[in-house]
Structure 1
Amino acid sequence: MNSKKWVSFLLPVLLVINAGIVIFLVMGSSTSETSEGGWENAPAAFHAVEVPDSVTFAGEPVPLWRFDVRESLDRELLVNSYFHSQTIRYIKLAPRYFSIIEPILKEKGVPDDFKFLAVAESGFNPSAVSPARAVGLWQFLQGTGRDYGLEIGKEVDERYHVEKSTYAACDYLLDSYERFGSWSMVAAAYNAGNTGVKRQITRQKTESYYDLLFGSEPSRYVFRIIALKLIMENPEKYNFAVPEEEKYPVVSTREVEITGKVEDFADFALEQGINYKLLKNFNPWLRDNFLTNSARKTYTVQIPVIEEKD
């Protein structure tokens, strides 16, 4: 029999043998699982998350007795509970950024729960840029940022400034509360815009966020914030085990004032005993490698205090 005939003869035989091996392995695995008590005892078991009987957002009760509201929160709890890498990173970063955000919220009279809005907006990334060109921890658009007193230019963009953008966000939230009188509506408006929310209130003849029909993103937004609050306040309940020593520490900094121009921030960083990368990481609002500062403004930069290795 020539080589071509051998190939044509052996190929079907080999395919049958391989199929038999696969069937044997699958059936053996199934038998093993059944003999040990069924699939529910398999190592990889995914469980539904617990939706609490009651929860508040910014002091306002969430109507979880309604099936639609309960299911909406359940969805966001599932998404964030099973997006393990992202949620663990949020838990690790929380001490570093909440130590800055919380005192400002308290000073301005904004409910503490709005710190989780910053998580939903940017994922604790002060340098975040959205497709719509909203930037920073609080995702300010250029026009809104200027309206609330942030300097925005090619060399300095204070939307990336954690403290200053937090103050601006507080002012925006307080103005929004004066308009809507409900913190859940304020949170929704942060995502959908004050005008967009007002339009839906007029159209649908209701002023409750939980009664309004929105598009996909605004309809999920407040529930995402609430889910982040529930998980990050009680991570163990949602199967996240992050010891305190594994959370990212608050890095001590010292302040240095700049009143003139800076020719090269790489040289400036070296003069301060750090590198250019650290300077920019702690001051992302400095948008170039130099500062003209023709108006001779006073800028304050944060210089991380680096502990010497023993």
Structure 2
Amino acid sequence: MPTPILVTGAAGFIGFHVVQRLLRDGHHVVGVDSFTPYYDISLKEARFANLAPHNTFMPERMDLADPDATRDLFAQHRFERVIHLAAQPGVRFIDPQPYVASNLVAFTHMLEACRHNGVEHLVYASSSSVYGANRRLPFSEHAAADHPISLYAATKKANEMMAHSYAHLFGLPVSGLRFFTVYGPWGRPDMAVYTFTRAIAEGREIQVANGGRVWRDFTYVDDIVEGIVRLVFHDATPDPAWDALDPDPATSSAPYRLYNIGNDRPQEINHLIALIEDALGKKARRVDVPLPPGDVLETRADVSALHRAVGFAPSTSLEDGVRLFVDWYRGYHGD
């Protein structure tokens, strides 16, 4: 049997789509998920069930915070390429323990397992939230990201530094991706596109921060998946353009890279709401609220580094993406 690719967070939104793409491309995939109840587990179960008919998909229900289970997983399969998307998401602080267990402890176990098993490339999920209080747009990987304003962002920044240390100390080829507001079919029900669609469809009020004068770099999930798949089969080798900008020789000499992955075309929340209203044929009942703690007014990704590395070029407009999401939503929920 060909060596499988490991995808963690395989019952999650992005992980599910990545697994689908890899299976469609003819790869064998081991998909790991712990089914944490951050949101309705039935959606995660439905995603996993959708993958189950593929005979090249090997599902594993396990917690990567368990070091023995993680070691056993790698000993069994000897992965060459790993896409680590499992994490505790959410910028709105509730309980620190899930963030510590999933984003710090489990990530350490992944780094150790990749280090000791000769993994050729580890691609892991970071987040645009690491830019925190940074106000210089577009957000660049070369800009400072030292002031996170959520615990989630702090753990993701920690992941970036941990990954770099493993690349520098042990030569582990590793690339991080800072995701910018991903949406699409099978999406997370706590994200804006899903929450607004559900509330408008059900005739409930939607809470709109700052009068809708908030901008996000909405990125359709298929574009994100294209970037991930291209990157995991790309070597984490030095990028001359990156090295020219990076004053730290330790960074450029290590097999480590960090990329934004977004749309580079921010859209106002008011425009998003209007598109959802049009797709549903219903008007929203709006309630204005302040911007929540941990959120920022605008995000915008400079994706030039990922474009240079693998030709990443998102192509799905928000108009098309919202229509595709609403079509899926109606089919999934029977509306």
Q: TM-score range by the shorter chain?
A: under 0.3
Name the structure where helix makes up a greater proportion of residues.
Answer: 1
Structure with greater Cα Rg: 1
- Normalized against structure 2, the TM-score is what? 0.20
- Normalized against structure 1, the TM-score is what? 0.21
Name the structure where strand makes up a greater proportion of residues.
Answer: 2
